[in-house]
Structure 1
Amino acid sequence: PRRWAVLRYAGSGAHHQQWGTWTRDEELAGIVAALAAPGEPGLPPVVLVCAHGLHDTCCAVRGRPAARALSRLYPGLVWESTHVGGDRFAANVVVLPDGVYYGGLDAATAVTMVEEHLRDRVHAGHLRGYTDLVPAQQVAVGAALQHFGPAGRHAWTVTATTRLDDQWHVHLTGHPPHPALLDVEVRSHRTPPRQLTCRGLARSSTVVYEATGLRWD
């Protein structure tokens, strides 16, 4: 049957889901009630793999092999999806309700990243970021994972962010064995124009965020 789902991320780690089925379009109105419902915790995760070839060829060419490899390992958990953003990072994988994006994957690395993720070990390699954070905060968490090693989805929490022009100061709190306080300096800059995606033939620039310093107590 065709299914819909409301997948809700909670910063506490108590993620909730609510699922339903539909045969007629009007039955999708059940989603409205689900948005206000508490949902059910403890359900298996959902793994989305962008395979939207009409949006950008790379998403299908790189995404479908990753989806096949993941489906063999996790039957029933993996969905090929439409556009999830960031064509230039194909293949893209999103784990829900955690809200964690991975990119630049192939079949082998997609399996490795998802296996580790389901063990509550988020790696900096191939990590694009967390859906509840803005880009500078995503880079700060990525820098923490890069420096201190893989950690759980909730091992680092953003507690404050300040900005001055193209500089950000992101304050993180860590859970043991990580430092209790971590300050990350982030800088943004625009790249020279280039072809960003397979389908986008026009040359475009993009804003890149980089961690330039870490301090901790």
Structure 2
Amino acid sequence: MTRPGQFRCAAAAFARGDRQAGTAARARGWVLIEHPGPWPFGGFAELDLAPEVQHVVRHAAQSAGMRILLVRRHGRQPSGREALWAVLRYDATGEHRQEWGSWSEEADLAQIAAAIDRPGATGLPPVHLVCTHGVHDACCAIRGRPVARALNEEWPDETWECSHVGGDRYAANVLVAPDGVYFGDVTPDQAIEAVGLLRSGLVAADHLRGYTDLAPAEQYAVAEVLGRFGPAGRHAIQVRSATRRGDRWTVLLECAAPLPAEVAVELRFYAEPAAQLTCLAPAPSRALAYETVAVRVPPDTRR
């Protein structure tokens, strides 16, 4: 429970009306390493592992554009079993790939580097990752754990708590991988609704931070189209071009039915007023945000 006068970044961001569209951390894949905790502030990078193991895994992940997350199941887990690891790879065709393995000794983690170079299996259900990294930011634990509990009750095999995914002030944060879809500022019920819709093949703009394969301005433009014309499938919107002039972006999107065939989103980026953006931030800072200037649909592309 938050004590009177105790600062919480997520509550402050909500009060300010911080915009979250366009804030998903970019990645082409994820390495998951099951670790019961406690998780250090820096996650995998600060685990007490042999330096050579750290180097092999980090170098392979960075070379492939992947992020490393520590994960654990929600609630108490039976002891005596090997921990799991996974390589989740985003694919622009929608044929997302996964490979899973197990480890009990540090040296076993070197298997991950080889797995990153393999294609992996398709057709597996998506993984729901809920940030509950309280050492990194209290809001992630306070708001993330109830969401992890709710998703775990609905989809126990696919739900994991995870270490820092970025955007503490948008807690609770949910990353669906390998789909690469970020949701933020969700309650348990909202998380179930958003994840359930995605599992059915659609993405809505509500609580969408963005798609991890896109740049921030492109993420924002996609969310704008989904908000006006969606929901739509994860791969129903493709970025044809993104052009910047000064503080303006024009993002041209090609869309599948029933969305308009073509949409041009003009947006402006700006620095928000200085604020404390995380619970542990030592000083105020300014974040970039986006706002819509215009949305244009050519008459001959309307459906």
Alignment match, 2:274: 193
Q: CA deviation at 1:201?
A: 5.7
Whole-angstrom distance in 2 between the partners of 1:201 and 1:103 = 23
Aligned counterparts of 1:38 and 1:53: Cα–Cα separation in 2: 34
Give the aligned residue type for 1:13. G
- Once the two structures are superposed, residues 139-162 of structure 1 have per-residue CA deviations (whole angstroms, 9 ceiling, x without a partner) of 000000001021110010011111
Matched with 1:170 is 251
Matched, 1:179 2:260: yes
- 1:54 is aligned, of 124, 132, 135, to 135
**Higher Cα radius of gyration:** 2
Q: TM-score, normalised by structure 1?
A: 0.97
1:103 is the counterpart of 2:184: yes
Q: 2:203 aligns with which of 122, 134, 141?
A: 122
Partner of residue 31, structure 1: 112
What is the identity, as a one-letter code, of the residue corresponding to 1:195?
A: Q
Distance 2:111 2:194 in 1: 34
* 1:78 CA drift (Å): 0.7
Post-superposition Cα deviations, 1:85-128, rounded to whole Å, max 9, x if no partner, equal 00110000000000000000111111111111111111101000
Range that drifts further, 81-90 or 160-169 = 160-169
Q: Give 1:209's aligned residue.
A: 290
**Does the CA-based 8 Å contact 2:230-2:259 persist in structure 1?**
no
SS in structure 2 of the partner of residue 202 of structure 1 = coil
Q: Which residue of 1 aligns with 2:103?
A: 22
Which residue of 124, 147, 150 corresponds with 1:66? 147
Q: Secondary structure, in 3 states, of the residue corresponding to 2:249?
A: strand
Matches within 5 A, 1:75-154: 75-154=156-235
Q: Secondary structure at the match of 1:200?
A: coil
Q: How many residues align?
A: 217
SS in 2 for 1:64: helix
Structure 2: tracts of 5 or more residues without a match:
1-81, 299-303
Q: How high is the TM-score relative to the length of structure 2?
A: 0.70
User: Identity over the aligned pairs, expressed in percent?
Assistant: 51
Secondary structure of the corresponding residue to residue 235 of structure 2:
coil
Unaligned runs of 5+ in 1: none
Q: Secondary structure at the match of 2:152?
A: helix
Counterpart contact for 2:238–2:253, Cα < 8 Å: yes
Distance 1:37 1:99 in 2: 19
Contact 2:255–2:261, Cα closer than 8 Å, also in 1: yes
**1:15 CA displacement:** 0.6
Deviates most, 4-13 or 204-213: 204-213
Task: Give the residue type in structure 2 aligned to 1:94.
Answer: L
Q: Distance in 2 between matches of 1:157 and 1:143?
A: 13
Which structure is higher in RCO with an 8 Å CA cutoff and minimum separation 6? 2
Q: Return the letter of the residue paired with 2:210.
A: G
The DSSP-based 3-state class of the residue aligned with 1:6 is strand
Q: Which has the higher strand share?
A: 1
- What SS does the corresponding residue of 2:86 show, helix, strand or coil? strand
Cα separation, partners in 2 of 1:137 and 1:25, compared to 1, 3 Å: same
Q: Is the 8 A contact 2:89 2:97 kept in 1?
A: yes
Q: What's the offset of the Cα at 1:35?
A: 1.1
Q: CA RMSD in A?
A: 1.0
Question: Per-residue deviation at 1:198?
Answer: 2.9
Tell me which residue corresponds to 1:41.
Answer: 122
Per-residue deviation, 1:200: 2.8
